[in-house]
Amino acid sequence: MRVSPSVLAADLIDLRRSLQSMDPSIVDLIHLDVMDGHYVPQLSFGEAYARAVKSATSIPLDVHLMVAAPERECPKYFDLHPAYLTFHAEATHFGVRLAQSIREQGIGAGVSLNPGTPVERLAPLLDHVDLALVMSVEPGFYGQKFLPQSVERVRQLREMIGRRPVAIQVDGGINTANIAALAQNGASIVVAGAFCFQGDSINSRVQALKEAAAASPGS
């Protein structure tokens, strides 16, 4: 299991200190939730802040665009070369073309689904992406509880993916109590905000998640 701490839950005023405290051998990715105030009601940050984050860490970026018209926004992140650049299937009519344009930059193309969107919506895109992100909370509202039906959605998606090299990521309300079920049903990356940035060190919190995932019989 790879863990991608979401910096939206960090102290954004003192984020450099948090980033520099992360051990790259433990923390796999840095998750950036880009919100535009249109696709989701909240406004977070954009490419300038993402560039500042990249300058402060060697850990690969994991950029999640919760934006309207991602065709216009994705190119702004190409020169940052994140590990993944993810857009929402619900936000575009041109998902295949957009995924192809991301991959052409040598970036992993990701596509995300809201909790109310059937997983079958991803079927036409699975040959064109490297990551499928299952939202386990509604996007754009911080601090929500994990939706238990997300485990079944992950299982369904794993069956749809089959032997394709597509990673399943889950985002929202992740903790040591629910990560094992996600691992057992096919998730290989989790995004964790509040869990990672509250309590003791980020590294120890990430390690706790990995240990809990490894306790899954199917991991």
Burial, 48: exposed, middle or buried (Cβ in 10 Å; 0-12, 13-18, 19+)? exposed
Element (H, E) at 61: strand 61-66
Q: Kindly name the residue from 33, 36, 62, 130 that is annotated as catalytic.
A: 33
Q: What is the rounded (10 degree) CA torsion for 51, 55, 60, 63?
A: -20
Out of 36, 62, 130, 171, pick the active-site residue. Answer: 171
- 14 a catalytic residue: no
Q: How far apart are the first and last CA of the chain?
A: 8
Q: Can you tell me which residue has the tokens 């979401």?
A: 6
Exposed/middle/buried for 162, CB within 10 Å: 0-12, 13-18, 19+? exposed
Residue 130 annotated as catalytic: no
What residues are annotated to the active site? 33, 171
